[in-house]
Amino acid sequence: MNSEEIRQSFLQFFKEKGHFIVPSYSLVPENDPTSLFISAGMQPMIPYLLGESHPEGKRITDAQKCIRTIDIEEIGDNRHLTFFEMLGNWSLGDYYRKEQLSWFFEFLINKLKLDPNRLYATVFRGNKKIGINKDIESVEILKALFKRFGIKAKDIDFAEKNGMQGGRIFYYDESKNWWSRAGAPDKMPLGEPGGPDSEIFYDLGAELKIHEKSEFKDKPCHLNCDCGRFIEIGNSVFMEYIKTEKGFNLLSQKNVDFGGGLERLVLAVQNQLSPFETDLFKNIIIKIEELAKKKYIEFIVPIRIIADHLRATVFIVGDDRGIKPSNVDQGYIVRRLIRRAFRYGRQIGIENKFWMEQVADIVINDYEKNYPELRKNRNFIIEQINKEEEKFSQTLENGLKEFEKLKSINGKQAFNLYSTYGFPIEMTKELAQEKGIEIDEKEFETEIKKHKELSKTASIGKFKGGLADSGEKTVKLHTAAHLLLAVLRKVLGEYVEQKGSNITSERLRFDFSYSEKLTDKQINQVEKLVNEAIKKDLSINCNEMFLDEAKKQGAMGVFESKYGEKVKVYSIGEGSEIFSKEICGGPHAKSTGELGRFKIIKQESSSAGVRRIKAILE
């Protein structure tokens, strides 16, 4: 099976089990202040996991674009990728453990034809401190599943200390078998949903001696061993808890949140040792080999890095949000990816001008069928990549010469490499590691902070998981954001559109299309109209309808492509007093009277043609 067949076979399999196929959401989260990118399929599903009804019912499936930026500098091994597609299925208070574990097993064996002897499972060990027991129920289900294939599945605890011991099902603690956007239970903020999970691993094979050849050879090998012999190909989360001040309570419904990396499933089916050797990367790697006049097999790591980084760049820049390389937020991630790919290109001898464009075009060709936005935004993508290459190619060589002169790197020097030669700090760190010289990171951060325009770069490290909360204050600010959009269109004109929003419990941040600075008079007018709508105590109602109907009724919606056929439309006000109508997942306040006083605390430019307003409710 090729990757397209595998993607479609997953979606069709779950469709046959009563799931509705929804398209991928944008890579950039909405209303989620702590996460730069969607890094798991469940992130956009949070309102529904918390109990909001999904317009398409209780069974949903999709292939979601994801970016994980924590490991950019680690890319090159046999399983990590910056961009990947996560195949997902959800039970929103419907089926639970038995169906989920059996269906995924059935999919792997009957549809993908994987050998059951190569499959292994993990489950939650339980933790008395948080009052959650060992996941015996999953173990029993898994044992029965393996038994169907004549496999006697022994359950084993503490394989991380004692090795595999002939086991098939393994218990791990909350660092491995618990899922929430924030990670383990103690890391979760109040109001965050989570639960124990069960992962399926694929064995690349003992005969390859992957563990024995790795740096971990002196420790016992087990499913979660970093040697990479066992690859996690799917994770079923049994999401039934919410963190409260008194510990873990049950959610109003028991959910299943399943996610499996498409690239890893393809690796298993195509019997390869890494995603880079599957059809998903074939054309990309052939192109890089051609440009470098080198063979993949001789330059595995740099070629993997180039392929991974440029593929991720195409998806981020091509995501309809107009993200460009910059020094902050998502733009800084793109800058790092392009510059790192470019440096590795030079390292393996690619000298052609605008060579990255050629790789980007391959990515667009390969993926446009499933992600038409890439073709639509092709010129923008190429323009951004070439501009960045132009900027960086002029300084890279001199920067490297400068770097070669250094015996150790203090903050000022690292900062100089950044500001004069455009070396992202992470690149300087990587170069220093390659050369075995020390770098004073702390001093570097201090230098950066001194330069105001770069102050946000230092905080990049904080954006790891997503923690959009569903607390009361956040919900009210969300409703205020709807009022704000309606009012902006009244005050500035009907062509004003929402370009993004980001809400914490303290404030809302709202981006919209408008090229000029708002005058004081306009700001006052906006505040006044929002506050009038609040005073009228308008009721907020939600209706489900087909997308066409929503559009006909004039409902606003930020990104059409992310919605399934049926959508939820939130209206503020009733009858002739409809103040705002938006396609939105919710949740919202019941009526505007709850909101308090609306106040704009800041306006600024977000990017060309886009203004940003920050506002609070007092």
Q: Which residues bind ligand SER (CB under 6 A)?
A: 40-42, 88, 179, 235, 237, 257-259
Q: For residue 318, what are the CA distances in angstroms to 277, 372, 383, 453, 543?
A: 25, 10, 11, 25, 32
Q: How far is the CB of 60 from ligand SER (least distance, A)?
A: 12
29 C-beta neighbours (distance < 10 Å), count: 21
SS3 617: strand
Q: What residue ranges in 147-204 does DSSP mark as E strands?
A: 155-157, 169-172, 178-179, 193-203
CA dihedral 42, 48, 50, 53 (to 10 degrees): -170
Please answer whether residues 327 and 457 qualify as being in contact, where contact means their C-beta atoms are separated by less than 8 angstroms: yes
Q: Which is nearer to ligand SER, 573 or 585 (CB)?
A: 585
Q: How far apart are CA 397 and CA 496, in angstroms?
A: 44
CB of 235 to ligand SER, least distance (A): 4
Q: What phi and psi values does residue 501 have, to the nearest 5 degrees?
A: -150, 155
> Rounded distance, CA 535 to CA 363, Å?
52
Smallest distance from the beta carbon of 44 to ligand SER, in angstroms?
Answer: 11
| Residue placing its CB nearer to ligand SER in the complex, 193 or 302 | 193
E strand intervals along 219-355: 230-244, 247-261
Residue from 618, 617, 615 nearest 511 by CA: 615
Closest distance to ligand SER from the beta carbon of 90 (Å): 8
Nearest-angstrom CA–CA distance, 336 and 348: 18
Shortest approach of ligand SER to residue 21 CB, angstroms?
16
For the chain, the distance separating the N- and C-terminal CA atoms, rounded to the nearest angstrom, is 57
Please answer whether residues 446 and 423 qualify as being in contact, where contact means their C-beta atoms are separated by less than 8 angstroms. Answer: no
Q: Which residue has the tokens 């929002």?
A: 530
Pick the closer one to ligand SER by CB: 88 or 424: 88
Provide, for the chain, the percentages of residues in helix, strand and coil under a 3-state DSSP scheme, each rounded to the nearest 5. 45, 20, 35
Q: Nearer Cβ to ligand SER, position 84 or 276?
A: 84
* CB nearer ligand SER, residue 78 or residue 91: 91
Q: CA-CA distance, 466 to 44, in Å (whole number)?
A: 10
- How does DSSP classify residue 586? -
Nearest approach, Cβ of residue 86 and ligand SER (Å): 7
Instruction: Give the Å distances, CA to CA, from 351 to 307, 388, 399, 411.
Output: 17, 16, 17, 31
**CB closer to ligand SER out of 146 and 179:** 179
Nearer to ligand SER, 237 or 269 (CB): 237
The residue type found at 546 is F
Q: Note whether 107 and 86 are within 8 A (CB).
A: no
* Closest CB 103 distance from ligand SER, rounded Å: 14
* Least distance between ligand SER and beta carbon 259 (Å): 2
Cβ distance to ligand SER smaller for residue 32 or 257: 257
Closer residue to ligand SER (CB): 58 or 499? 58
Q: Based on CB atoms, which residue is closest to ligand SER, 179 or 570?
A: 179
The answer to whether 202 touches 230, Cβ cutoff 8 Å, is yes
CB of 464 to ligand SER, least distance (A): 13
Report in angstroms how near the CB of residue 88 gets to ligand SER at its nearest: 6
Q: Residue of minimal CB distance from ligand SER?
A: 259
Q: Which is nearer to ligand SER, 200 or 488 (CB)?
A: 200
- Least separation, in Å, of the C-beta of 262 and ligand SER? 13
Q: Are strands 83-92 and 59-67 parallel, antiparallel or unpaired?
A: antiparallel
Q: In angstroms, give the least distance from the CB of 43 to ligand SER.
A: 8
Nearer to ligand SER, 238 or 598 (CB): 238
